[in-house]
């Protein structure tokens, strides 16, 4: 693919003096030819850099001098004395400011009738001022590296920046820089993770300040295609084409990239290529391989002439080379490299803002993390000093939008007498606040009390009842439904849980399902509850019934028309955004339409032993994980909920659990019971 851009080349100003000999009088006619081009990129505003006139002075034999200013490309001086002359020439812009200068000494004679004065020195000292910005929601602990390299020099100078981390801005000012061309490289880190970078050509002009505002291109959700722009500045614009790179490319694949000028005679260009502010290679045609993520590619091109730097950039995504919806490019991340608190009793889930909430029972911690290219960056971390309920062991959690401020209510089910805890999460600041820990004793709908020692997990949200729901174990070891209100406040009279109206008895008597066999729960958008039992491989569905006193309870019980014998070994149920229920067993996956009470498909996978599965609502894929065989099965699902093409991928570890990001672009594999690392995979969503 080609990207068009305008590139600026600058050449030396050559002043050639031709002498016609007038031997009889000892004088000659001096003819001067002028030619000059200059360039501009990051340069002072409102200061033209084109040379439009020339001031030429000379001193020669017998104190002879001349002083002329001309806009002509050819001029003659008559009666110039033969002998040794020193000539100085300065190129001026339209404001009369000196831009470039040069001088030479030569002896004018019959045998030496001409001279070339090279304007090879830019005039004066100037300043550089750069302002940088980034998204503070993405960068938790910013660090900036800046390097400035003068044209023709190999060594770079490190420049410090004044940073305001809370506002996401930084600035740098460098004074007293010699006029000329420079390369400015900038790199933004979050901790030790390189997040973004840039490379810009800079032109310093005497007694002026070159300035620019630069925004770091970050890896956000979702990825946005980049654009290319090669700056069209003063001098002689040259149309250039960057060939070989599109706004989206395949990660890990070698690309041949070229900078091709439209003028065929420009064959002396030197091109340096930078990725995220880091130098990679040089040449008009190069080969570069990109890692997954969002990148900025910069090309700095120049001739051997002074002030000739020009630059262009393109922002693009390097995506894993897979079909849409199929994960790829697995990367294993451990606690040491990421700062994640892992270990036994770890649960994690993607939040609506794209961040990851990680709760660790063994570390008594809650972390908010961001996905950063090929790694995970910790944004916030909490312990028992701020969230006392973290001393409990988590099983599962769910969230729901609480108010117009964007606050989310979060309910965590625990594997001990606390049984659940309520948090509030504010995406704008990534802050978490504990609302209440539910310490076992709960008021039932009928008015009596029951004590619950732990929960089974699988937290859902009932949109009709406006409550969280999960399965708890009472003091007798029997499973019971708990509906956890998310009303704001810490008073037990407002924020409490209650038992369903003899739910367990109804389920066991009407549906013949042993509550102790229930291993999974899912709640649909119409607030239907689906219970999965592993003893007989059966599924129960509970709907709402409104009573005379206005209470709405789960009392409409039904058994889906699924052949229970072939569903033996059921482990989990999930409901897609389309309302389709998907059921996973030890070696099968099935789809069920609850609205029509119809099985959509049943697929048995020979030799599989699945531990978990997840739905990608963005791409319409289902992922099944086999910890035993260390394989991930990816299936496409059509708009009707039917299963389609299969792809089998090898995983790096024998992880047991899956989480998919809200936008469908990330997949994380880990193990709740003893997470020693996480495995991150990228997913192509378009």
270 or 662: which leads in pLDDT: 662
Give 403 or 601, the one with higher predicted confidence: 601
Q: Is the pLDDT of residue 335 over 70?
A: yes
Residue 412 has pLDDT above 60, yes or no: yes
Q: What's the whole-number mean pLDDT along residues 609-632?
A: 95
Residue 664's pLDDT band (cuts 50, 70, 90): very high
Does the pLDDT of residue 550 top 70, yes or no?
A: no
Residues near 298 by beta carbon (within 8 Å), at least 6 away in sequence: 198, 199, 200, 273, 274, 275, 277, 311, 312, 313
Count of other CB atoms within 10 angstroms of residue 355: 25
Q: How many CB atoms lie within 10 A of CB 404?
A: 6
What's this model's pTM, rounded to 2 decimal places? 0.65
Mean pLDDT of the chain: 79
Selection from 671, 594, 664, 604 nearest residue 633 by Cα: 604
Under 8 Å between Cβ of 591 and 576: no
pLDDT of 131 = 95
Say what percent of the chain tops pLDDT 90.
30
Helix (H, G, I), strand (E, B) or coil at 49: coil
Q: Is pLDDT above 90 for 499?
A: no
d(CA 559, CA 557) in angstroms, rounded, equals 7
Query: Count H helices, E strands: the chain?
Result: 2, 56
Q: Which of 281-290, 315-324, 465-474 has the highest mean pLDDT?
A: 281-290
Q: Is the pLDDT of residue 467 over 90?
A: no
Comparing 662 with 227, the larger pLDDT belongs to: 662
User: Is the sign of the CA dihedral 257, 261, 265, 269 positive or negative?
Assistant: negative
Contact yes or no for 18/28 (Cβ under 8 A):
no
Q: What is the largest CA-CA distance in the chain?
A: 131
Structure token digits, residue 324: 């849409």
Q: Mean pLDDT throughout 89-107?
A: 85
Per the CB < 8 A criterion, the answer to whether 283 and 244 are in contact is no
Cβ atoms within 10 Å, residue 662: 16
* CA pair distance 500, 545, nearest whole angstrom: 12
- pLDDT band for position 484 (50/70/90)? low
Q: What is the mean pLDDT of residues 118-134?
A: 87
What is the separation of C-alpha 597 from the centre of its chain, rounded to a whole number of angstroms? 42
Q: Give the Cβ contact number of residue 125 at 10 Å.
A: 15
pLDDT in tens, 151-210: 888 888 999 999 999 899 999 999 999 988 888 999 998 887 788 888 888 888 888 899
Residue 561 tokens read as 């028309």
Q: HSE-up of 505 (CA within 13 Å, CB side)?
A: 4
The upper half-sphere exposure of residue 567, i.e. CA atoms within 13 Å in the direction of its Cβ, equals 27
- pLDDT score for 432: 96
Closest by CA to 647, choosing from 290, 160, 320, 181, is 320
Q: So what's the pLDDT on residue 618?
A: 94
More confident residue, 83 or 24: 83
pLDDT at position 437, please? Answer: 79
Mean pLDDT within 398-408: 89
Please report the sign of the dihedral spanned by the C-alpha atoms of residue 370, residue 651, residue 635, residue 349: negative
State how far Cα 524 lies from the chain centre: 32
Instruction: Give 584-593 contacts, CB < 8 A, sequence gap 24+.
Output: 584/610, 584/612, 584/613, 584/624, 585/537, 585/610, 586/610, 589/613, 589/622, 589/624, 589/635, 589/643, 590/562, 591/637, 591/641, 591/642, 591/643, 592/539, 592/560, 592/562, 593/641
Out of 467-476, 485-494, 532-541, 637-646, pick the least confident.
485-494
- Under the banding of pLDDT at 50, 70 and 90, the label for residue 96 is confident
Is pLDDT larger for residue 349 or for residue 35?
A: 349
540 versus 387: which is more confidently predicted?
387
Higher per-residue pLDDT: 75 or 47: 47
Q: What angle do CA 653, 658, 661 make, to 5 degrees?
A: 120
Which pLDDT score, from 0 to 100, does residue 483 have?
64
The separation between CA 35 and the C-alpha centre of its own chain, rounded to angstroms, equals: 47
Band of the pLDDT at 37, cuts 50, 70, 90? very low
pLDDT tens sequence across 213-262? 988 876 543 332 222 222 222 233 345 667 787 767 888 888 998 887 66
Cα 435 to Cα 421: distance, rounded to the nearest angstrom: 8
Average pLDDT over residues 468-478: 73
Which 3-state string (H, E, C) describes 264-284?
CCCCCCEEEEEECCEEEEECC
DSSP string, 215-235: E-----SS-----EEE---SS
Q: Strand 666-670 relative to strand 612-616: parallel, antiparallel, unpaired?
A: unpaired
Task: List the one residue out of 199, 127, 154, 181 whose CA is nearest residue 10.
Answer: 181
Residue 29 has pLDDT above 60, yes or no: no
Gap between the Cα atoms of 174 and 661, Å rounded: 43
User: pLDDT: is 69 or 635 the higher one?
Assistant: 635
Question: Which residues have CB under 8 Å from 26's CB, separation 6+?
Answer: 81, 82
């Amino acid at each position: 693919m080609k990207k068009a851009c305008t590139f600026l080349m600058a050449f030396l100003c050559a002043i050639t003096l031709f002498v016609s000999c007038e031997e009889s009088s000892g004088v000659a006619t001096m003819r001067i030819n002028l030619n000059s081009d200059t360039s501009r990129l990051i340069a002072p505003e409102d200061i033209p850099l084109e040379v439009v006139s020339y001031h030429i002075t000379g001193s020669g034999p017998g104190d002879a001098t001349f002083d002329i200013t001309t806009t002509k490309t050819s001029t003659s001086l008559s009666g110039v004395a033969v002998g040794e002359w020193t000539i100085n020439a300065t190129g001026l812009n339209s404001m009369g400011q000196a831009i470039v200068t040069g001088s030479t000494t030569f002896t004018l004679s019959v045998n030496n009738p001409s001279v070339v004065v090279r304007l090879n020195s830019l005039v004066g000292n100037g300043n550089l001022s750069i302002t940088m910005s980034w998204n503070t929601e993405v960068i938790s602990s910013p660090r900036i590296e800046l390097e400035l390299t003068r044209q023709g020099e190999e060594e770079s100078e490190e420049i410090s920046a004044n940073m305001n981390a809370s506002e996401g801005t930084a600035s740098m000012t460098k004074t007293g820089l010699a006029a000329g061309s420079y390369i400015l490289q900038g790199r933004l880190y979050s901790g030790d993770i390189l997040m973004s970078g840039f490379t810009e050509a800079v032109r310093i002009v005497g007694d002026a300040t070159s300035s620019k505002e630069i925004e770091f291109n970050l890896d956000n959700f979702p990825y946005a295609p980049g654009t290319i722009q090669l700056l069209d500045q003063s001098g002689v614009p040259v149309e250039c084409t960057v060939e070989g790179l599109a706004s989206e490319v395949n990660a890990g694949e070698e690309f041949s990239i070229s900078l091709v000028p439209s003028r065929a005679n420009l064959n002396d260009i030197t091109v340096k290529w930078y990725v995220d502010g880091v130098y990679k290679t040089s040449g008009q045609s190069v080969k570069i391989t990109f890692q997954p993520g969002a990148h900025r590619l910069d090309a700095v091109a120049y001739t051997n002439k002074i002030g000739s730097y020009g630059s262009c950039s393109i922002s693009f995504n390097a995506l894993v080379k897979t079909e849409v919806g199929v994960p790829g490019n697995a990367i294993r991340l451990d606690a040491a490299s990421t700062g994640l608190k892992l270990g036994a009793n770890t649960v994690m889930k993607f939040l609506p803002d794209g961040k990851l909430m990680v709760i660790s029972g063994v570390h008594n911690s809650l972390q908010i993390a961001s996905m950063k290219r090929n790694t995970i960056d910790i944004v916030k971390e909490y312990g028992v000093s701020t969230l006392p309920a973290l001393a409990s062991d988590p099983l599962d959690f769910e969230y729901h939008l609480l108010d117009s401020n964007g606050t989310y209510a979060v309910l965590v089910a625990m594997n001990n007498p606390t049984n659940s805890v309520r948090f509030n999460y504010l995406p704008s600041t990534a802050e978490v606040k504990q609302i209440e820990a539910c310490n076992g004793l709960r008021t039932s709908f009928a008015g009596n009390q029951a004590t619950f020692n732990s929960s089974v997990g699988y937290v859902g949200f009932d949109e009709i009842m406006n409550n969280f729901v999960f399965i708890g174990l009472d003091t007798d070891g029997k499973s019971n439904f708990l509906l956890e209100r998310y009303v704001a406040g810490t008073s037990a009279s407002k924020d409490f849980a209650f038992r369903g109206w003899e739910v367990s008895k109804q389920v066991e008597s009407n549906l013949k399902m042993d509550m102790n066999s229930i291993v999974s729960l899912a709640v649909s958008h119409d607030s239907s509850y689906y219970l999965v039992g592993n003893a007989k491989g059966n599924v129960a569905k509970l709907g709402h019934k409104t009573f005379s006193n206005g209470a709405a309870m789960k009392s409409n019980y039904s058994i889906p028309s699924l052949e229970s014998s072939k569903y033996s070994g059921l482990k989990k149920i999930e409901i897609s955004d389309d309302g389709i229920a998907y059921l996973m067993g030890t070696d099968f996956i099935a789809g069920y339409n609850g609205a029509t009470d119809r099985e959509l498909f049943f697929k048995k996978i020979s030799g599989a032993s699945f531990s978990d599965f997840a739905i990608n609502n963005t791409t319409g894929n289902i992922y099944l994980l086999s910890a035993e065989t260390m394989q991930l099965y990816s299936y496409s699902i059509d708009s009707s909920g039917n299963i389609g093409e299969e792809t089998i991928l090898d995983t790096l570890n024998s992880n047991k659990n899956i989480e998919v990001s809200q936008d469908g672009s990330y997949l994380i594999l880990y193990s709740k019971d003893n997470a020693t690392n996480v495995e991150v995979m990228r997913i192509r969503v378009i």
